[in-house]
Amino acid sequence: MTTDVPTVRWGIVATGMISSWFVEDILLPEWPHKSANHIIQAIGSSSLDKCKKFANDFVTPTKPKVQPSLYGSYQEVYDDKDVDCVYIGTPHSFHKQNCLDAIKAGKNVLCEKPFTMNADEAEEVFAAAKEKGVFIMEAVWTRFFPAMQAVQKLLHEDQKIGRIIRMYCDFGLDIDIASLPDSSRYKDPALGAGSLLDIGIYSLTWGLVTLAGAVGDKAEEPEVSSTQTLSHGVDTSSSVILKYPSTGRQGICTSTTDFNRGGVSFARIEGSKGHIVVHGGTAASPSKIEFFPKEEGAKPDVWEFEKPGRGFYWEADAVAHDLKAGKVEDERMPWKETLRMMEIMDGVRKRGGAKFPVDKW
């Protein structure tokens, strides 16, 4: 890579599982289509000891040129003048306040999915970002995978399957929620527990991306119907039907925490000239595409995609380019797309009953 590629100095907020995955990935030396450099400039945690352990486990082994500043609070990350962009890896219910605090300090933000607990909170955060003029994006990393880009091109540019008719996508995990402590983010409605916001969001992402053919303001609003199965107020299964009025395209987007789907095909998109099947460890992480022509006996086309680590570096590279270009939102994951997703999930929860204490309905 040449030296004129952008570099982002990240401030990591929280030291849980997702922060470790993100940091491990962006500190890898190489990945396909690498187009930016990433430095872990600062780490903030509820405890300085946890912060030191996180740095020792995930940053020190990579022998970085810059040693991160380690803080026993999140605010010190927001106030660190050497941090270009804050990455937020707390449970869903903290995203709104973490984003608002970072924005107040003038920081750019990449916030884990789901962006917030509901659409009202998302609107509040975007209003604050707009007023301050900072960049902010929901970290829907799947949208930046080369395999996702390839599916979009095959469907909407190459029109490989002809007229798009319908799709389905499923994300299933087997989590023994009953055995978890009440404080777990998988169990506590106050922390946003439930399959929908945790993994159903990926099935819905595939629905929006494959059926709408556009993002943000250019995308049509789907009609939505849905149902949920609840256990102790938390949705263990959610099933959502999307229908696009202008084309009649339909999608079924499902999630469950009661069944591990395993590393098999997770999405199928059908059209007048054939169908596409997408494979990956989960619906978050596509790695292989197959195109089956309609003609009987025709051989499928197969594309496989190399992915060292997990694949979080592609969204990080996109942020680096957005910051270099002085943008406040990303064109593949614009604010409107996050709001659309939050509104769809609000509707699913209103119909299905998975209400959070913070919801005003």
Ligand X SMILES: NC(=O)c1ccc[n+]([C@@H]2O[C@H](COP(=O)([O-])OP(=O)(O)OC[C@H]3O[C@@H](n4cnc5c(N)ncnc54)[C@H](OP(=O)(O)O)[C@@H]3O)[C@@H](O)[C@H]2O)c1
- Applying CB under 6 A, the residues found at the interface with ligand X are 14-18, 45-47, 50, 89-92, 94, 112-113, 139, 141, 185, 198, 284
Query: By CB neighbour count within 10 A (0-12 exposed, 13-18 middle, 19+ buried), where does 155 fall?
Result: buried
Of residues 251 and 311, the one with the C-beta less far from ligand X: 311
Of residues 47 and 60, the one with the C-beta less far from ligand X: 47
- Take residue 309 and report the two structure tokens written for it: 């680590």
- As measured in angstroms, the least distance from the Cβ of 91 to ligand X is 5
Of residues 141 and 314, the one with the C-beta less far from ligand X: 141
- As measured in angstroms, the least distance from the Cβ of 160 to ligand X is 28
- As measured in angstroms, the least distance from the Cβ of 186 to ligand X is 9
- As measured in angstroms, the least distance from the Cβ of 169 to ligand X is 15
Q: How many CB atoms lie within 10 A of CB 314?
A: 23
Of residues 225 and 260, the one with the C-beta less far from ligand X: 260
Of residues 18 and 39, the one with the C-beta less far from ligand X: 18
Of residues 185 and 273, the one with the C-beta less far from ligand X: 185
Instruction: Kindly state the helix (H) or strand (E) to which residue 289 belongs, with its residue range.
Output: strand 286-293
Helix (H, G, I), strand (E, B) or coil at 316: helix
Helices marked H in the chain — which ranges? 17-26, 48-54, 75-79, 92-104, 119-132, 146-152, 195, 201-212, 313-324, 335-352
Residue, CB closest to ligand X: 16
- Work out whether the CA dihedral 312, 13, 189, 117 comes out positive or negative: negative
Q: What is the pairing mode between strands 164-172 and 223-231?
A: unpaired
Of residues 22 and 244, the one with the C-beta less far from ligand X: 22
- Take residue 147 and report the two structure tokens written for it: 């395999």
Helix H, strand E, coil C: the string for 150-205 is HHHHHHHHCCCCCCEEEEEEEEECECCHHHCCCCCCCCCHHHCCCHHHHHHHHHHH
114 preceded by a cis bond (ω within 30 of 0): yes
- As measured in angstroms, the least distance from the Cβ of 225 to ligand X is 25
- As measured in angstroms, the least distance from the Cβ of 312 to ligand X is 7
